[in-house]
Amino acid sequence: MKKVSILVAIYNGEAWLSRCLNSLFAQTYTNIEIICVDDASTDNSLQLIKEFAQNHDNLKYLSNSINCGQAVSRNRALAVSTGDYVLMVDCDDWLSKDAVEQAVGVLDSYPDTASVLFRLMYHYSADGSEREFVNKCDSNVLSGVEAMRLALSWDIHGVYMTRRSLYEKYPFDTSGRLYSDDNTTRRHYLHSGFVRFCDGIYYYYQHPNSMTHNPGILVADWMEAMYSLKTMLVEEGLEDELINNIEFRLWESVVSAAGCYWRNKKCLNNKEREALLQRIRNFHSKIELSRLPLPLRCKFGYIPFKRFFPLFMLQARIYFALRMLLKGI
């Protein structure tokens, strides 16, 4: 019976943590260990973890003295884990009772498969309604390259269980506080041999306090994440078609960050404005125009103006102002 490690990174999750952990202890698959890492929470999350640990021998916990972000916390959990299979669960999310059993069944049955996706169910805090994420693929078996390509465009989600060997080779990317964990998922899919699906459900809690719903200027981390992914895969010698796809996503992130700058400019102090502007300028200069499709390079709002960064920013200001105006009509 293979052992499963479940990694839970926690920051100010007191309101939801009990629901999350109770769902893990209620799994029909019993050979599991749970590793919690408290990321310097300012609420009672750490105390709650300690209380659970007193009653559950298979729960280990660590705590960070300073807030380090999810990726660093997950890597700390990974370092002390011992399972053959690994998955991560955010502290405000939870699993169906059979989720682990379902995923393990697929991995045990298919040695050529290293990653298994759960069903992803959005649960909305406002009214308790639920909506399932529909993967946009025609098969329940994907090659690693197919899965990564679909993950880049979010045609498949990134909630899955994988073999430990993938995490040992490709731990969590720490290039940014947000979004860089998606890089880890994409690399896992790429090197999975095959990627399959199971019927276990991962419940993704949608609420206003979620980090991904309040990214603010941290949307600039998307640039860091995409550039980091591109760099890693260029070093691996991947085919140009896939690298070009990532370049396209990188350019999208630069344009989005420019829009973020103009939307938040009045809310930022001079130091914050200059820091964000410098990050945008930095990645704007790193774009490889030859990898971008010509129609995109000619589209208003996305024209690179490679040697004229102020002109690019002016374009972004006009483009996003028009978008807001049209949205309000």
Looking at domain 4-211, its CATH architecture is Alpha-Beta Complex (3.90)
- Measuring CA to CA, which residue among 100, 95, 99, 73 is closest to residue 12? 73
HSE-up (13 A, CA, CB side) for residue 252: 12
Residue 22 has pLDDT above 70, yes or no: yes
Note whether 228 and 176 are within 8 A (CB). yes
Q: Where are the domains of the chain?
A: 4-211, 215-328
Residue 212 has pLDDT above 60, yes or no: no
Q: Which one is predicted more confidently, 116 or 206? A: 116
Angle at 203 between CA 17 and CA 195, to 5 degrees: 120
What value does the mean pLDDT take over residues 186-194? 96
- Measuring CA to CA, which residue among 155, 157, 70, 149 is closest to residue 121? 157
Note whether 96 and 203 are within 8 A (CB). yes
Q: Report the b/e string of 266-283 with b at 16+ CB within 10 A.
A: eebeeeebeebbebbbeb
Q: What is the mean pLDDT of the chain?
A: 93
Strand pairing partners for 289? none
What value does the mean pLDDT take over residues 292-313? 96
Predicted confidence at residue 126, as pLDDT, reads 86
Banded model confidence at residue 215, pLDDT cuts 50, 70, 90: very low
Residue 216 has pLDDT above 90, yes or no: no
Q: Output the CA–CA distances (angstroms, integers) from residue 162 to 137, 152, 153, 225, in the order listed.
A: 20, 18, 21, 21
Q: Which one is predicted more confidently, 83 or 225? A: 83
d(CA 274, CA 76): 33
The full DSSP string for 162-225 is: EEHHHHHHS----S-SSSHHHHHHHHHHHTSBEEEEEEEEEEEEE-TT-GGG--GGGGGHHHHH
Angle at 250 between CA 234 and CA 296, to 5 degrees: 115
- For residue 86, the SS3 value is strand
Banded model confidence at residue 329, pLDDT cuts 50, 70, 90: low
Whether the model clears a pTM of 0.75, i.e. scores above it, the answer is yes
Residue 243 has pLDDT above 80, yes or no: yes
d(CA 185, CA 167): 10
Burial class of residue 79 in the structure, from the number of CB atoms within 10 Å of its CB (0-12 exposed, 13-18 middle, 19+ buried): exposed
Q: Which of 177-181, 195-199, 253-257 has the lowest mean pLDDT?
A: 177-181
State which H helix or E strand residue 300 sits in.
Answer: none
Strand pairing partners for 7? 35, 88
d(CA 95, CA 118): 9
HSE-up (13 A, CA, CB side) for residue 42: 1
d(CA 221, CA 177): 7
